[in-house]
Structure 1
Amino acid sequence: MAHLLGAEALHLEFPTRVVFESVTIGINEGDRVGIVGRNGDGKSTLLKLLAGRLEPDSGQVTVRRGVTIGMLDQGDSIDPDLTVGQTIVGDRLEHEWAGDANVRDIIRGLAGDLDWDAPVGDLSGGQQRRVALARLLSGEWDVIFLDEPTNHLDVEGIAWLAEHLNRRWAKNAGGLVVVTHDRWFLDAVCTSTWEVHDRILEPFEGGYAAYILQRVERDRQAAVAEAKRQNLMRKELAWLRRGAPARTSKPKFRIEAANQLIEDVPPVRNPIELAQMATARLGKDVVDLLDAGVSFGDREVLRDIEWRIAPGERTGILGVNGAGKSTLLKLISGGLEPTSGRVKHGKTVKIATLSQRLAELDEHEDELVRDIIARQKRSYVAGGKELTPSQLLERLGFSSAQLSTPVKDLSGGQRRRLQFLLILLDEPNVLILDEPTNDLDTDMLAAMEDLLDTWPGTLLVVSHDRYLLERVTDQQYAVWNGQLRHLPGGVDEYLTLRNQATAGGTARSDRSHPTESNSAAVAAEPKLSGAERRQAEKELAAIERRLEKLQGQLDALDAQLAKHDQSDYEGLTALGNERGALMEDQAALEERWLELGELLS
């Protein structure tokens, strides 16, 4: 694969800290890289360095001649006086961009609900962000850097973006580097992962699930000091293997390796125990919506909602923007009265909402974190263990020094974690999470999910983060045409319904450009004949046998390398070349294994 760009010995310091110390990395044709790490460790800074928007204190970034680079930065701004159309397609004539299927698809996927002739300055921040993303993707680039591209996209928009990026280039062409906390998106798009931590960059093979597997192995080999972090990752891996069917399409030997790692890890939740605890705290009645409806003037938002929420129920709620999800949450929490039907709350119900805004902390701006915590209850039980508020803060990533920090000086992610902690310490028995992933990195999301696993109450989650939704809830519903629709097939079923609605022309306007028809039906997937299926199954079995043999050869080579005389450079080089050839064979076989698996599924 041809080299696109590289960074050598990058060193960068800010006045208060060193961000990177001698980082060397490269991007080749076909690379699809996801960057993960704690907030503040330098993920966005690394993108800017590689894209040439920021100069390192020492070291250099080199770009192959002729390579074009496009970047979506969180701080990018667009001319507010330009129209939506001018911003996305520039000065190109309509017949030029309208004749480009790629551009039409981008407009349909990201800007279909926007007025083509509206000034960008009249749009909301989220809409402007989508326009900026559409403008970038409409261009021709060899390398694309994306900083949090899934922000302000709904589940459907995120699925569209993943599909677009997966077919944008041929397999061994183009380069993509993305910073995102959306773990489903990382798995759907990325073939390698870079973890930024402690002034360095550590590469891993595969997307988020593979990264977790390798990180567990790294942590298992580390000292006892990493034990807490390791156990959390093992729990995360256990869910990836047991609770997410979409992630099980891995070669057989990788599944067996994962199973060995988690054989002594219990399921992430004990639903029977949690349901018993929730019933003890709540009784049998939680919140009943009985033929409830809400109208604002002549506009009917919700109608005939029949939902008896049970103690211990863990439900995710999906729906397009404007479908009525927030209205539904307000009905449940008592913040809004129905205009038809009624809402009945149980006598012992205590509802708390983790909202998108951080208004709950406004009155504490000048207070120290430790002073706020001191006024709360003295202990909290999680996973059968009694924890102090300080221990809870530690689990949520606060250092002891940050306890003496005023709330106004906390970052967005720290304020979000403090908000979550205060809600838990107040001991509600019904918890509503409204887009809880804002400002949180993947480690902190895992820590939040870990606490929610042992939370004994009713949990309702609205989120565009598919990974979190599938991770912490046991069932999903959609707000669909003003009513509540159960989704036995989860998010996949919801996306299928949305695609069918789009093909039938009944979808909302934000999936089509005003000048374009939505009447084209979705092509059916071709089915295999009996003979073709038997041949595919035979080839699949042969590949699995070959993969097992290759893994054995790789293990033997690794053992040989470990014992080899380290001063014998020629011998080491020969063994390394042999190992590289085997890994290339392994990668090719894995790819064919996945292709056959999709054909047979």
Structure 2
Amino acid sequence: MAHLLGAEALQLEFPTRIIFDSVSLGVDEGDRIGVVGRNGDGKSSLLAMLAGRLEPNSGRVTVRRGVDVGVLDQGDTLDDADTVASAVVGDLPEHEWAGDPRVRDVTAGLLAGFDWHASISSLSGGQRRRVSLAKLLIGDHDVLMLDEPTNHLDVEAIAWLADHLKRRWSTTSGALLVVTHDRWFLDEVCTRTWEVHDRIVEPFDGGYAAYILQRVERDRMAASSEAKRQNLAKKELAWLRRGAPARTSKPQFRIDAANALIADVPEIRDPVALRSLAVSRLGKDVVDLLDASVTYPSTGSGADTAVLTDVEWRIAPGERTGILGVNGAGKSTLLGLVSGTVLPTGGRVKRGKTVKVATLTQRLDELEEHLDSPVRVVLERLRTTYTFGAGSKSQELTPGQLLERMGFTSPQLSTPVKDLSGGQKRRLQLLLVLLDQPNVLILDEPTNDLDTDMLAAIEDLLDSWPGTLLVVSHDRYFLERVTDQQYAILDGRLRHLPGGVDEYLRLRHRQQEQSAAGPSASVSAARASSLTGSELRTAQKEVSAIERRLAKLDALINAAHQSIAEHDQDDYEGVAALTGKVDELQIEVAGLEERWLELSELV
């Protein structure tokens, strides 16, 4: 593979510290590199140096002649005076850009429904991010450098972006470098990982799951100095390995090694103990939404706006649920019904007597009164010791121990809250919410401003939190990691998603296809759902049969992956045959899942 760009002996110093010390690395055609590391360790600075936007103190960056590098900045660089059209396609006439397949693909994926004549100044943060991405992606770049591309994007847009980047070049051409805390995105797109830490850049093969495995192996050999970090990584590896089987399908993720490393790691959560403690704290009744509807009155002469319709949701003690839906679907309204800040206009909300709801919002309101106080003092005002965990695994922590568990160093404990970074403020905000001892916790986009290590630390803390947890997040990995089930708001109704985020994306795709087909398609779908008694029983039987077959296929695919991992890698024909078997099984799974969704719509 041809070399595209490289760096030799890069050194970068800021007035207070050294960021990089003699870093050398290269990017070749076909590379898909995820850049991870703690906030402040230099990920964005590394991209800026490689793109020629930041001059190192010493060393040099070389770019092969003719190579075009496209960069997506973490910040907003759009001109408010531009329109959407001028920002994305410039002065190109419509007949030129509309005839370009790439432009059509990008605009359909990111800008569907946008007013092309709208001013950039009138757009929301998420809309501006989509315009910035579209502007970059329609270009014919050899190397793309993306700094936090998933910021402000919803689950659908993130899935589209991942698919676009996988299709954009052949496997042996182009190159991608991406800085993101979105671990699902890293695993979906990247084939290599660079970890930025301690003034160096350490390379790993594979995406996020493979990186975690290799980091655990590295930490194990590095002895006890990394013991805390190692244990946390092992716990995350256990979830990756035992979770969605698709994550282990990449050949870089060595299943036999992973199984050996996590053999002594218990399940990440003890659901029985946590549920028992949740019941003792909450009682059997939490919050029941009974045919609840919310309609907002019109501000003008138009009709009232129905946001939620006939929602039936009985929230159980210890339930851990993720909520999905497009912006404006009604997620905040639904959470408002649960917390009591929104009253239903139809139906009713029944709340248990001992329920105490706390909400972690996207704002930092909880910190306003503490801005001038040192971090340690803020916690000591509330309580001298705190208990986390359930049953025999419960432990009592001092404020200092709790802060250390959340990644605060000793010097940072004396730092005034107003001087903390965005990620540090976010962690402190979560701690203050938890330490108020709620028994129902609502997290609204909790992953903002956090790096992957801090997300793992928060997930670890939530694993031992006994209570009912409701999460709204565009971070798919986080959502799947901390919740046990997912619901979606579709057309104002709450719908359970047995197939998780993948099912939600399929339903949204089908919804968009029906909208594009017009009213007749919706009418046909409604008619198709009217089954007679015998037809309904037949459909239910088929659903059950499909679910049994899917479980069997899942076991067969896992066994095939195990065989590939244990097979002699020099036996190319044998490996190819096993891989072909996996492909056949996965094709059957895809077909069955599609049929399952069709039947689920009917029954």
1:544-563 alignment, distance < 5 Å: 548=566, 550=568
Is 1:349 the counterpart of 2:373 in the alignment? Answer: no
Is 1:172 the counterpart of 2:168 in the alignment? Answer: no
- What's 1:503 paired with? 513
Residue 333 (structure 1) aligned to one of 334, 339, 342: 339
Question: For the Cα contact (< 8 Å) 2:308–2:493, is it kept in 1?
Answer: yes
1 CA distance for matches of 2:585 and 2:282? Answer: 45
- What's 2:537 paired with? none
Q: Relative to 1, partners in 2 of residues 1:111 and 1:546: Cα closer, same or farther, differing over 3 Å?
A: closer
- What's 1:15 paired with? 15
Question: For the Cα contact (< 8 Å) 2:76–2:128, is it kept in 1?
Answer: no
Question: For the Cα contact (< 8 Å) 2:564–2:578, is it kept in 1?
Answer: no
1 CA distance for matches of 2:373 and 2:560? Answer: 65
Q: Relative to 1, partners in 2 of residues 1:492 and 1:253: Cα closer, same or farther, differing over 3 Å?
A: closer
Give how far 1:588 is off: 8.9
- What's 1:418 paired with? 428
Give how far 1:422 is off: 0.8
- Report the residue type matching 1:439 in the other structure: D
1:150-299 alignment, distance < 5 Å: 150-251=150-251, 254-297=254-297, 298-299=304-305
Give how far 1:382 is off: 2.6
2 CA distance for matches of 1:399 and 1:543? Answer: 42
Is 1:452 the counterpart of 2:462 in the alignment? Answer: yes
CA deviations over 1:243-293 (Å, ceiling 9, x no partner): 223213245982121111111111101111111100000001111111111
Give how far 1:135 is off: 0.2
Q: Relative to 1, partners in 2 of residues 1:598 and 1:542: Cα closer, same or farther, differing over 3 Å?
A: closer
Give how far 1:67 is off: 0.1
- What's 2:476 paired with? 466
TM-score by length of 1: 0.86
- What's 2:325 paired with? 319
- What's 1:492 paired with? 502
2 CA distance for matches of 1:333 and 1:360? Answer: 17
TM-score by length of 2: 0.86
Classify the secondary structure of the residue corresponding to 1:146.
Answer: strand
2 CA distance for matches of 1:472 and 1:193? Answer: 24
Which range moved further: 47-56 or 588-597?
A: 588-597
Q: Relative to 1, partners in 2 of residues 1:291 and 1:26: Cα closer, same or farther, differing over 3 Å?
A: same
Give how far 1:78 is off: 1.3
Is 1:440 the counterpart of 2:446 in the alignment? Answer: no
Question: For the Cα contact (< 8 Å) 1:251–1:544, is it kept in 2?
Answer: no
- What's 2:82 paired with? 82
Give how far 1:595 is off: 5.1
- Report the residue type matching 1:68 in the other structure: D
1 CA distance for matches of 2:272 and 2:264? Answer: 20
Is 1:407 the counterpart of 2:426 in the alignment? Answer: no
Give how far 1:591 is off: 7.9
Which range moved further: 75-84 or 414-423?
A: 75-84
1 CA distance for matches of 2:14 and 2:132? Answer: 29
- What's 1:480 paired with? 490
Give how far 1:387 is off: 1.1
Classify the secondary structure of the residue corresponding to 1:115.
Answer: coil
Question: For the Cα contact (< 8 Å) 1:252–1:544, is it kept in 2?
Answer: no
- Report the residue type matching 1:190 in the other structure: C
- Report the residue type matching 1:341 in the other structure: G
Question: For the Cα contact (< 8 Å) 1:368–1:404, is it kept in 2?
Answer: yes
Q: Relative to 1, partners in 2 of residues 1:370 and 1:121: Cα closer, same or farther, differing over 3 Å?
A: same
1 CA distance for matches of 2:170 and 2:583? Answer: 16
Is 1:390 the counterpart of 2:400 in the alignment? Answer: yes
1 CA distance for matches of 2:199 and 2:68? Answer: 28
Q: Relative to 1, partners in 2 of residues 1:506 and 1:318: Cα closer, same or farther, differing over 3 Å?
A: farther
Q: Relative to 1, partners in 2 of residues 1:256 and 1:71: Cα closer, same or farther, differing over 3 Å?
A: same
Identity over the aligned pairs, expressed in percent? Answer: 69
- What's 1:534 paired with? none
- Report the residue type matching 1:247 in the other structure: R
CA deviations over 1:291-326 (Å, ceiling 9, x no partner): 111111100111101111110000000001110001
1 CA distance for matches of 2:152 and 2:560? Answer: 45
2 CA distance for matches of 1:458 and 1:503? Answer: 36
2 CA distance for matches of 1:118 and 1:392? Answer: 48
Task: Count residues with an aligned counterpart.
Answer: 541
Classify the secondary structure of the residue corresponding to 1:335.
Answer: coil
Question: For the Cα contact (< 8 Å) 1:71–1:136, is it kept in 2?
Answer: yes
Q: With CA pairs under 8 Å and 6+ residues apart, which has the higher RCO, 1 or 2?
A: 1
1:563-574 alignment, distance < 5 Å: none
Give how far 1:75 is off: 2.6
Give how far 1:367 is off: 1.3
2 CA distance for matches of 1:124 and 1:507? Answer: 29
Classify the secondary structure of the residue corresponding to 2:201.
Answer: strand
Classify the secondary structure of the residue corresponding to 1:158.
Answer: helix
- Report the residue type matching 2:180 in the other structure: T
Give how far 1:549 is off: 5.2
2 CA distance for matches of 1:211 and 1:48? Answer: 23
- What's 2:379 paired with? 373
- What's 1:515 paired with? none
2 CA distance for matches of 1:461 and 1:135? Answer: 32
- Report the residue type matching 1:393 in the other structure: L
- Report the residue type matching 2:412 in the other structure: Q
Classify the secondary structure of the residue corresponding to 2:152.
Answer: coil
CA deviations over 1:11-60 (Å, ceiling 9, x no partner): 00000000000011100000000000000000111110111110000000
1 CA distance for matches of 2:379 and 2:397? Answer: 13
1 CA distance for matches of 2:578 and 2:411? Answer: 47
Q: Relative to 1, partners in 2 of residues 1:546 and 1:242: Cα closer, same or farther, differing over 3 Å?
A: closer
CA deviations over 1:451-499 (Å, ceiling 9, x no partner): 1111100000000011011111011000111010000111011011111
Question: For the Cα contact (< 8 Å) 2:254–2:565, is it kept in 1?
Answer: no
Give how far 1:361 is off: 0.8
1 CA distance for matches of 2:71 and 2:446? Answer: 27
- Report the residue type matching 2:330 in the other structure: G
2 CA distance for matches of 1:64 and 1:588? Answer: 35
Q: Relative to 1, partners in 2 of residues 1:47 and 1:595: Cα closer, same or farther, differing over 3 Å?
A: farther
Classify the secondary structure of the residue corresponding to 1:301.
Answer: strand
Q: Relative to 1, partners in 2 of residues 1:396 and 1:544: Cα closer, same or farther, differing over 3 Å?
A: closer
Classify the secondary structure of the residue corresponding to 1:21.
Answer: strand
CA deviations over 1:48-95 (Å, ceiling 9, x no partner): 011111000000000000000000011341121111011111111111
2 CA distance for matches of 1:251 and 1:47? Answer: 28
Question: For the Cα contact (< 8 Å) 2:255–2:562, is it kept in 1?
Answer: no
- Report the residue type matching 1:51 in the other structure: A
Q: Relative to 1, partners in 2 of residues 1:477 and 1:502: Cα closer, same or farther, differing over 3 Å?
A: same
1 CA distance for matches of 2:377 and 2:355? Answer: 28
- Report the residue type matching 2:319 in the other structure: E
Classify the secondary structure of the residue corresponding to 2:382.
Answer: coil
For the aligned residue pairs, the C-alpha RMSD in angstroms reads 2.4
Question: For the Cα contact (< 8 Å) 2:29–2:175, is it kept in 1?
Answer: yes
Question: For the Cα contact (< 8 Å) 1:292–1:304, is it kept in 2?
Answer: yes
- Report the residue type matching 1:196 in the other structure: V
Classify the secondary structure of the residue corresponding to 1:248.
Answer: helix
- Report the residue type matching 2:366 in the other structure: E
Give how far 1:507 is off: 9.9
Classify the secondary structure of the residue corresponding to 1:504.
Answer: helix
Which range moved further: 540-549 or 460-469?
A: 540-549
Classify the secondary structure of the residue corresponding to 1:145.
Answer: strand
